[in-house]
Amino acid sequence: MKIIIGVGHPKDVHTFKNLYYRLVDRGHQCLVASNDRQHNVELLRHFKMNHTCYSSHAKSLLGKMFSLVIDVCTLMKINVTFRADMFISHSSVSTGLVSFVFRKPHICIEDTFNMEQVRLSMPFTDVVLTGDYEHPSLGKKELKYPGYHELAYLHPNVFTPDERVLKSLGVCKEEKYVIVRFVAWAATHDIGHKGMSIENKRKLIETLSKQVKVFISSEEDLPDDLKKYQIPIKPEEVHSIMAYASLFVGESSTMATESAVLGVPAVYINDSHLGYIKDLESRGLIFSYTESLEDQGSVINNAIDIAKNVDKSAYKAIAERMLKDKIDVTAFLDWFVSNYPSSKEKVSGKCFSFDGFRRYQES
């Protein structure tokens, strides 16, 4: 079988990489079609995934609309040669449109529920896989599984943190440090968001750095006075760095969730409290705040309190309990794609059990 996997965000590379490896190992031909967003191509090269960069990453709404037309035309041209039997993506409109033109199935995964994108992609989607946490219904095409997308690449069955990366940070394994993440607010679903004020960013970093080491990951250029805190690692190393951290503080829902499933408490600043964020918040792994100036003050105080008093083993234990409720998402995706369309009928049935994908063994 020939499969095109659409990638629009670095998280997509991580989400699909283990599925890609398993499919290729069994003789399937896979091609990752990516835009040139920051780190996408770098990650695809690092993970040695067969890929083509067919799209540029536009920032303005008008630019995104224009690039969609170009993307569809370019991907169609690519598929004339590749001749895919199936398309997979994270609710990619261009991937869905091309699958529709070539009359091939389009399997989507979805977790952010950015409805301006979902509404455009759903007519060209055959099935959409979502976590079983509370979220907007996507109708008859939706199938739920017990997990988060992050468990496709951070589940203990597929991920073991590499302690060697700590050397690049200049920290020891047991040393406390905090990862802080600032986003650029450039996506269509970020319209109306502004995040933390620059004054509160400085206050957060200044106050935290008096207690523990602080490392910043930022989509935008940092002011000169904060650049000394910029995290000095490669993109493919970030999850190992996060796994050994004492705390995550930031505006990124993806990194907050990644930290949480790794057993690292996350202080999350964003007006969009997504379903998986709420689910992990209910488990005590994420602490959510809005972007209001009042809440930004609370973020700083809570982050300092956790950083000073964090019991890493307690949060790891919470994550262990969470993992018992969830599945190895890569194993599920592998089975679902390899056995499609019969897998769709089975999961839709009342008697289907996910127990076969609960292969987590406690350490």
Claim to verify: residue 90 and residue 15 sit in the same structural domain: yes
Tokens 């992050």 correspond to what residue?
150
CA torsion sign for 72, 74, 79, 80 is: positive
What is the percent of the chain where pLDDT is above 90? 75
Q: Does residue 286 share a domain with residue 186?
A: yes
Give the whole-angstrom CA distance, residue 143 versus residue 179.
Answer: 34
The predicted pLDDT at position 10 comes to 92
Residue 229 covered by a domain:
yes
Q: Are both 210 and 290 inside the same structural domain?
A: yes
Residue 225 falls inside a structural domain: yes
Answer yes or no: are the C-beta atoms of 265 and 180 closer than 8 Å: no
Q: Is the pLDDT of residue 195 over 80?
A: no
Domain extent, residue 198, equals 163-322
CATH number at 43 reads: 3.40.50.2000
pLDDT score for 194? 66
* Residue 257 belongs to some domain of the structure: yes
Question: What's the number of domains the chain is made of?
Answer: 2
Domain final position from 286, 302, 322: 322
What are the tokens at 237? 């190393």
Q: Which amino acid is at 188?
A: T
In a domain, 360, yes or no: no
223: which DSSP letter? Answer: P
Structure tokens at 326: 């969830």
For residues 197 and 194, give the distance between their C-alpha atoms in angstroms, rounded to a whole number.
8
Predicted confidence (pLDDT) per residue in 133-162, tens digit: 999 999 999 999 999 999 999 999 999 999
Q: Alpha-carbon distance 102 to 360, whole Å? A: 39
Q: Tell me: do 149 and 168 sit in the same domain.
A: no
**Averaged over 332-345, what is the pLDDT?**
97
Residue in this structure with the two tokens 């536009």, named with its chain if needed: 58
pLDDT-derived band at 62, boundaries 50, 70, 90: low
Judging by DSSP bridges, how do beta strands 266-269 and 86-89 pair with one another?
Answer: unpaired
Residue 193 has pLDDT above 70, yes or no: no
Instruction: Give yes or no for residue 217 having a pLDDT over 80.
Output: yes
Task: Say if 333 falls within a structural domain.
Answer: yes
- Non-local (6+) Cβ contacts of 98 within 8 A are 4, 72, 75, 76, 79, 87
Examine the domain organization and report whether 139 and 189 are in the same domain. no
- pLDDT(37) > 80: no
Q: What pairs with residue 180 in β-bridges?
A: 216, 249
* pLDDT above 70 for 261: yes
Average pLDDT over residues 294-307: 91
Q: For 68-123, how does the pLDDT look when each residue is reduced to its tens digit (9 = 90+)?
A: 888 999 999 999 999 999 999 999 999 999 999 999 999 999 998 887 788 889 99
Residues 80 and 143 in one domain: yes
pLDDT-above-70 percentage for the chain: 93
Mean pLDDT, residues 238-246: 96
Highest mean pLDDT among 15-19, 190-194, 356-360: 15-19
CA-closest candidate to residue 109, choices 148, 136, 74: 148
If asked whether residues 129 and 255 sit together in one domain, one would say no
CB 96 within 8 A of CB 13: no
Residues 230 and 216 sit within 8 Å (Cβ to Cβ):
yes
Which residues pair with residue 86 across a beta bridge? Answer: 3
Q: Which of 358, 345, 351 is nearest to 143 (CA)?
A: 345
Three-class secondary structure of residue 203 per DSSP: helix
Q: Quick check: is 137 in a domain?
A: yes
> Do 139 and 6 have their domain in common?
yes
Q: Are 303 and 336 in a shared domain?
A: no
Residue 362 in tokens: 């406690």
| Strands lying side by side in the sheet with 106-109 | 51-55, 29-35, 2-7, 86-89, 106-109, 127-131, 142-145
- Average pLDDT, integer, range 226-240: 91
- What local confidence, expressed as pLDDT, does residue 63 receive? 65
Q: Tell whether 173 is covered by a domain.
A: yes
Q: Looking at the structure, tell me whether residues 78 and 223 fall in a common domain.
A: no
Do 46 and 134 fall into the same domain?
yes
Query: Are 168 and 317 found together in one domain?
Result: yes
pTM greater than the 0.95 cutoff = no
pLDDT-derived band at 57 (thresholds 50, 70, 90) equals low
Does the pLDDT at position 190 exceed 60? Answer: no
pLDDT-derived band at 61 (thresholds 50, 70, 90) equals low
Residues across the chain: 363
Residue pair 234/200 in contact by the 8 Å Cβ criterion: no
Are 99 and 118 in contact by the 8 Å Cβ rule? The answer is: no
DSSP alpha helices (H): ranges in 26-132?
Answer: 40-46, 61-82, 93-101, 115-121
What totals of helices (H) and strands (E) does the chain contain, helices first? 15, 12
The reply to whether 362 falls in a domain is no
Choose among 271, 255, 246: nearest CA to 181.
255
Q: How far apart are the first and last CA of the chain?
A: 37
